[in-house]
Every structure is written in C-alpha cells, then in structure tokens.
C-alpha cells in the first residue's frame, strides 16, 4: 500500500471521525487537531495499518486515546496554573446550538462516546465496544441510557435502536 | 413528529473544517519527532531546552495561539537589561521545523538559517547545539547513525561533517571540543578534541567496572565548567544522572553521580552546578509532572533546592552566568523564555518560536 491509498482513505474517513470527536469533546478545533494527529500516526505506520482488518477502527482508537490524553493534560495544566498563579485557563466550552449537538455535549462522557460513535461514525455496537475497550453489553447499556436522556431533552419520539 | 434517530442523524451532517494535506500530515509527523527529542527524551539524550516554568506555561501548539505570561515581560525585561547590559542579542537553536537558525533574543525573530535540516524526507534531527567562544562556528549533532557531529560557520556557509558523536560542547577558552562517542557503542566514551591539532583524549568506563553494562552509550548534555577543568554530563545509568568528570581522572568510572535522576546540568560557577531533579525516570513521568531545580556544590556535595517547576526543564546560561535561556516542554510544544540567573523560577520573558537545543551567541 502506498501514499495514494492513504490519501483516498484519509479523505473518506476524516470528516466522520472529526464529527464524532467533536461531539465527544464539544470543541471543533480540538476535534480536528486530535483527528489530524491520529491520521498522521496512521500515515507514519501506513504499511502496517493498511494491512489491518479495520484501519478505520485503528485510527478511531488512536483518536479517542489522543483526545483523552489531551483533555487530561489540559485539565492538569489548568489545575496547576490555578494553584500557582490563581489564574484560570479556559477549557473548551461545548457548542451551544440549542439542538442535538448541545444535548449530546451535556451527556456524561461515556454516553457521549457511544452516541458519537454510533451516530456520527455509524459504528455497530461491536465496533463501539471495541473502540472504547468495553463489553458490548456495557456499550449497549450506555447507548440506551444516552438515548433515553436525549429523548427527554429533545422531546422526540423514542425508537428501538437498530443493531 | 421528529424521531430521535432523525435528530441524531444531524451528527452526520455538520460540516467540518478541511484537514491538512498528506504533506501537512508529514510535517506534523516531523514536528512530533522534534518535540519528542526536546521533551520525552529529556533524561539522557537531550541537550534540549524545553519550556517554561515558573511563570510561563506553554499551552498552545502553534503560532496562532498565545503563551500565557504571568508577569509583564516588557517590564521584566527592561529591569533586567538595565542591570546587566552584557546580554547577548542572539542565540542559535532548532526551530519547530527542525532547522538550525540564528534568532534574536528575546524577539525570537529568525536572523538566518544555518542548516535546512528540517522538512526534507530523511533529513536528520538535530539534538544538541553549541557555539564556540569566538562566535565563529556552530557545532551540532544529529541523531542519525547513532549520532553525527557537524559544524557550520555562524555567519552561514557549508556544513562540515566531523564524524560520529553527539552532544558537542566547546570549552570556554575555545581550544577544545568535548563530545560523547556514538550512542549504542560500548564502552560509553567522552572525547575531548584539541581543535587546533585534532589530537584527542578519551575517557571511557573501565572494563572491570561492575556497572559497565549499564552504561549503554547514552552520554549527553556535556558542559564545561567555567575554568575548563571539569565536564558535567548526563549518563543513562539507572535512569539519568548528572556526573562530573575531572579531566585529570583516568576514566569515566571515577566520576560520581551528584544526584539521582537529575538532568540538564549547567554551571553557575566553578563549584556550583545547576540541575533538574525529576521525580522518576523519563519513561515513567508525565511531562507536566513537577521537577525540582537544584544547585549542587560539587566540592561538598551539598544540594540546595531552588524550587519546583512544571514540565521538562533545561537551560543555557551566558558566559558571564548572568542570564539564562530556559526551556520546557509544556503540553505539546517547546517554548523558550529569557531569565536572569537570580530569577530562574520567575516569569521571565517569552522568546517566541518554539526553539529548542539552544546556545547563546557570544
């Protein structure tokens, strides 16, 4: 596999992954940065990644891990700054469009993750579970809770989740 | 009535910003490798200066964002300059793209590029830089092939390959070049070359040293004492240790560690050595884990803690020991700040550009 294959795969996969990470992080620029970092790592290892069963699954996990590290560091840095200089550092605020994005942003992290993977990336429950390193049962339970909460907030009809 | 699935389908429709080209991703890869040199390898291998501390914290990843400066840099600088007019106006360092440049202090403006070693495929990564006391030559090493030494005229010109080695440092009198032998070659060796004759002296670990096999060849951060009689350096034995080699000694085994898990030695006087004491080995610590800045009296072994700062930390002091360029790797990026030696832990003045592996121009 060479660079042309990577370029086509990158162009196809990137938008949905940015949307998913955006839904989890609530910050578009942060999401784009995290995703670009993940794809750069894929490019760095393209020979190996391209031979995997699911390169998309690999880059998804890398992006989620990168997001977790970035948020953790931002949080740590903010705490340290507050402690040292009594100054605050702004953490990303969730987008507030009064709609589904802000409703998703208000969910707990795990529920945001499963919603983002399921609906922004069109992952199956098995793929969602694999990306988050949890069981399918846990993914399913989180998804059900998230849907219930979103149904209440958005005041829409609930539907049975398709497998 | 709209269903939940219809609403959630909106998550697939929002427009996203276009991403970088594949070449842009390649540049990102290269910058990450450069940052890794400046930060994660901070223990043994890097003479890198990395960012901030005390009062300056790097948050940003690129030039479009700002560095938080707690103290007013303008005020800080003007006070400092009036007391110490000998502040050099320029330094040499490696920029974010891996290029070796001369830059203004504290403006960070690039004065000239000495070596375009940055973005080309296969271009070497520079891990250590020094300028001779005459301000004639810039010596640097790259990580390729276990470490290679180069030099280039400070005014610009052809780059000259000197041979295998790393962590070059020119003595204060300008007569000698100290460097470490190639990485991964045993025994670990420090070489001092007389620049006028090419004659070399070598210090290695004794072959009967019980710790022989722990010396894996990773000697870095070599720095001359002000009187040019000793070399402080970092060895990779049990993590990262600062040791001091008396040039009258016969081998490296005679140099005792001054402090455990300490990096980035810098001489403040003939007997005082500044160091960065880390909580744990480099591969175990987070970059934002606080480190302790210490001063060791090499005559008595007494250690004084100056204070705690955040991030990987290093510095390069002027020949008169009055000013220091302090660097640290913050969240994602290396940044540099200018300090007086008396105020190493203070806010300092930000030097934009993300430079690492810096050395003052005399």
Looking at per-residue pLDDT, the higher value among A160 and B34 belongs to B34
Distance from CA of residue B91 to its chain's centroid? 13
In this predicted structure, the answer to whether residue B248 has a pLDDT above a threshold of 70 is yes
Give the tens place of pLDDT for each residue, A114-129. Answer: 999 999 888 998 889 8
Edge to edge, what strands does the sheet with B137-142 contain?
Answer: B126-131, B137-142, B148-153, B160-164
Write out chain B residues lying below 8 Å of A14, CB-based: 16, 19
CB pairs under 8 A between A and B: 117
Min mean pLDDT across B65-69, B78-82, B239-243, B341-345 is at B65-69
pLDDT at residue B207 in the model: 57
Tokens read off for B222: 């070599």
Measure the CA–CA gap between B69 and B55, rounded to whole angstroms: 7
Over residues B287-308, the mean pLDDT reads 80
For residue A133, the distance in angstroms to the closest alpha carbon of chain B comes to: 23
Measure the CA–CA gap between B271 and B257, rounded to whole angstroms: 15
For residue B239, the distance in angstroms to the closest alpha carbon of chain A comes to: 24
Q: Is the ipTM of this complex over 0.85?
A: no
Give the tens place of pLDDT for each residue, A13-47. Answer: 999 999 999 999 888 889 999 999 999 988 888 88
Measure the CA–CA gap between B177 and B192, rounded to whole angstroms: 6
Write out chain B residues lying below 8 Å of A101, CB-based: 10-11, 14
Q: Are B143 and B182 in contact (CB under 8 A)?
A: no
Looking at per-residue pLDDT, the higher value among B59 and A47 belongs to A47
In this predicted structure, the answer to whether residue B160 has a pLDDT above a threshold of 60 is yes
- For B22, name the nearest residue in chain A, comparing CA atoms only: A7
Looking at per-residue pLDDT, the higher value among B278 and A21 belongs to A21
Give the tens place of pLDDT for each residue, B63-103. Answer: 222 222 222 222 333 333 334 446 788 999 988 777 899 99
Over residues B228-245, the mean pLDDT reads 80
Q: Do B16 and A32 touch (CB under 8 A)?
A: yes
Measure the CA–CA gap between A71 and A77, rounded to whole angstroms: 10
Point out the residue among A7, A74, A85 whose CB comes nearest to the CB of B70: A85
Measure the CA–CA gap between A50 and B40, rounded to whole angstroms: 28
Point out the residue among B5, B8, B16 whose CB comes nearest to the CB of A15: B16
Convert B13-38 to b/e letters by CB count within 10 Å (16 or more is b): ebebeebbebeebbbbebbeebbebb
Most B-contacting residue of A5, A17, A19, A66 (CB-CB within 10 A), to test interface? A19
Edge to edge, what strands does the sheet with B323-329 contain?
Answer: B312-317, B323-329, B334-340, B349-351
Closest CA to B134 of B323, B362, B358: B362
Q: Do B25 and A23 touch (CB under 8 A)?
A: no
């Amino acid at each position: 596999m060479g660079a042309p294959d990577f370029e086509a795969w990158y162009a196809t996969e990137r938008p949905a992954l940015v949307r998913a990470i955006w839904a989890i992080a609530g910050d578009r620029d942060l999401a784009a940065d995290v995703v670009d970092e993940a794809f750069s790592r894929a490019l760095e290892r393209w020979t190996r990644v391209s031979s995997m069963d699911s390169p998309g699954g690999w880059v998804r996990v890398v992006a989620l891990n990168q997001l977790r590290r970035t948020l953790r560091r931002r949080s740590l840095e903010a705490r340290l700054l507050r402690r040292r200089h009594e100054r605050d550092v702004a953490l990303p605020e969730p987008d507030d469009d009064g709609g589904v994005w802000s409703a998703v942003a208000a969910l707990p992290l795990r529920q945001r993750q499963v919603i983002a993977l399921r609906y922004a990336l069109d992952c199956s429950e098995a793929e969602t579970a694999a990306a988050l390193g949890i069981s399918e049962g846990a993914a399913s339970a989180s998804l059900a809770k998230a849907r219930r909460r979103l149904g209440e907030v958005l005041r829409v009809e609930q539907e049975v989740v398709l497998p | 009535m709209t269903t939940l699935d219809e609403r959630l389908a909106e998550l697939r429709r929002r427009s996203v910003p276009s991403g970088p080209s594949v070449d842009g991703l390649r540049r990102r890869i290269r910058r990450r490798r450069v940052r890794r040199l400046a930060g994660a390898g901070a223990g043994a291998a890097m003479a890198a200066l990395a960012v901030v501390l005390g009062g300056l914290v790097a948050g940003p990843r690129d030039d479009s964002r700002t560095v938080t400066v707690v103290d007013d840099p303008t005020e800080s600088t003007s006070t400092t300059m009036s007391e110490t007019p000998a502040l050099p106006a320029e330094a040499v360092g490696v920029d974010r793209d891996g290029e070796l440049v001369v830059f203004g202090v504290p403006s960070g403006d690039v004065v000239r590029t000495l070596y375009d070693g940055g973005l080309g495929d296969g271009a070497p990564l520079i891990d250590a830089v020094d300028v001779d006391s005459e301000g004639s030559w810039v010596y640097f090493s790259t990580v390729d092939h276990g470490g290679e030494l180069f030099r280039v005229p400070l005014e610009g010109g052809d780059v000259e390959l000197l041979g295998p080695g790393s962590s070059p440092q020119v003595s204060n009198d300008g007569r000698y070049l100290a460097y470490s032998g190639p990485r991964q070659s045993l025994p670990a060796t420090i070489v001092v070359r007389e620049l006028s004759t090419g004659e070399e002296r070598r210090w290695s670990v004794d072959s009967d040293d019980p710790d022989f096999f722990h010396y894996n060849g990773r000697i870095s951060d070599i720095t001359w004492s002000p009187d040019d009689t000793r070399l402080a350096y970092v060895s990779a034995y049990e993590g990262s240790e600062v040791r001091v080699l008396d040039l009258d000694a016969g081998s490296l085994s005679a140099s005792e560690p001054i402090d455990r898990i300490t990096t980035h030695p810098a001489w403040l006087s003939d007997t005082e050595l500044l160091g960065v004491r880390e909580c744990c080995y480099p591969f175990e610590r987070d970059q934002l884990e606080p480190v302790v800045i210490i001063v060791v009296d090499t005559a008595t072994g007494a250690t004084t803690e100056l204070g705690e700062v955040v991030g990987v930390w290093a510095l390069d002091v002027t020949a008169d020991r009055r000013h220091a360029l302090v660097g640290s790797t913050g969240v994602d990026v290396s940044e540099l700040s200018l300090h007086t030696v008396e105020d190493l832990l203070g806010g300092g003045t930000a030097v934009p550009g993300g430079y690492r592996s810096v050395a003052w121009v005399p």
